[in-house]
Structure 1
Amino acid sequence: MSENTVTPRRAALRLPAVPMAILIGVVIGGLLVLVSGGNPFNAYWRILVGSLAPANWPDTLNWAVPLVGMTIAAAIPLRGGMVNLGGDGQLAIGGFVAAVLPVLLPQILPLPGPLLALVAILAAMLAAGLYAALAAFGEVRFGIPMLISSLLLSYPAIGLTSYFVGFPLRDTATGLSQTAMIPEGARLATISGPLNIGLLLILVVAGLVLYVDRRTVFGYELRMRGLNPRFTAYGGVKPGPQMLRTLFASGAIAGLVGAIIVLGSLYRFQDGALLTPGYTWSGLMAALLANGEPLGAMVAGLFFAALQTGGFAMQRETEIPRVLTMILQAIIILFLAIRHGVVRRA
Structure 2
Amino acid sequence: MSDVARPMRRLLRIPPVPLAILVGVVLGGLLVLVSGGNPVEAYAAIVTGSLAWDSLPNTLNWAVPLVGMTLVAAIPLRGGMINLGGDGQMVIGGLVAALVPLYLPGPGPLLIVVAILAAMVASGLYATIAAWGETRHGIPMLISSLLLSYPAIGICSYVVGFPLRDTTTGLAQTPMIPEAARLPVLSGPLNAGLLVMLVVAVLVVLYDRFTVGGYELRMRGLNARFAGYGGVPLARQMTGVMFASGAIAGLVGALIVLGSQFRFQDGALLSPGYTWSGLMAALLAGGEPLGAILAGAFFAALQTGGFAMQRETSIPRVLTMVLQSIIILFLAIRHGVGRRRETR
TM-score by length of 1: 0.96
Q: Look up the match of 1:137.
A: 132
Paired with 1:128 and 1:69, the residues of 2 have a C-alpha distance of 14
Cα RMSD of the aligned pairs, angstroms, is 1.3
**1:240-288 CA distance string (max 9 Å, x none):** 0000000000000000000000000000000100010011011110010
SS in 1 for 2:110: helix
Q: Look up the match of 1:21.
A: 20
- Letter of the structure 2 residue corresponding to residue 214 of structure 1: R
Partner of residue 268 from structure 1, selected from 252, 259, 263:
263
Q: Look up the match of 1:158.
A: 153
**1:136-183 CA distance string (max 9 Å, x none):** 000001100000000000000111111111111110000111001001
Paired with 2:189 and 2:196, the residues of 1 have a C-alpha distance of 15
Shift of 1:105: 1.4
Partner of residue 307 from structure 2, selected from 309, 312, 325:
312
TM-score by length of 2: 0.96
Q: Look up the match of 2:112.
A: 117
Q: Look up the match of 2:76.
A: 77
Paired with 1:186 and 1:134, the residues of 2 have a C-alpha distance of 30
Q: Look up the match of 2:329.
A: 334
Kept after mapping to 2: 8 A contact 1:13/1:343: no
Paired with 1:84 and 1:324, the residues of 2 have a C-alpha distance of 27
Aligned residues: 338
Paired with 2:285 and 2:184, the residues of 1 have a C-alpha distance of 32
Paired with 1:70 and 1:158, the residues of 2 have a C-alpha distance of 17
Q: Look up the match of 1:58.
A: 57
Kept after mapping to 2: 8 A contact 1:99/1:179: yes
1:74-223 to structure 2, matched below 5 A, reads: 74-106=73-105, 111-223=106-218
Paired with 2:23 and 2:240, the residues of 1 have a C-alpha distance of 38
Structure 2 residue runs of 5 or longer lacking an equivalent are: none
Paired with 2:210 and 2:22, the residues of 1 have a C-alpha distance of 34
Q: Look up the match of 1:48.
A: 47
Shift of 1:100: 1.0
Q: Look up the match of 1:298.
A: 293
Kept after mapping to 2: 8 A contact 1:58/1:195: yes
SS in 1 for 2:163: coil
SS in 2 for 1:244: helix
- Letter of the structure 2 residue corresponding to residue 323 of structure 1: V
SS in 2 for 1:54: coil
Shift of 1:71: 0.6
Shift of 1:104: 1.1
Kept after mapping to 2: 8 A contact 1:71/1:282: yes
**1:66-85 CA distance string (max 9 Å, x none):** 00011111110000000000
Paired with 1:118 and 1:308, the residues of 2 have a C-alpha distance of 30
SS in 1 for 2:206: helix
Higher mean displacement: 331-340 or 315-324: 315-324
Structure 1 residue runs of 5 or longer lacking an equivalent are: none
SS in 2 for 1:191: strand
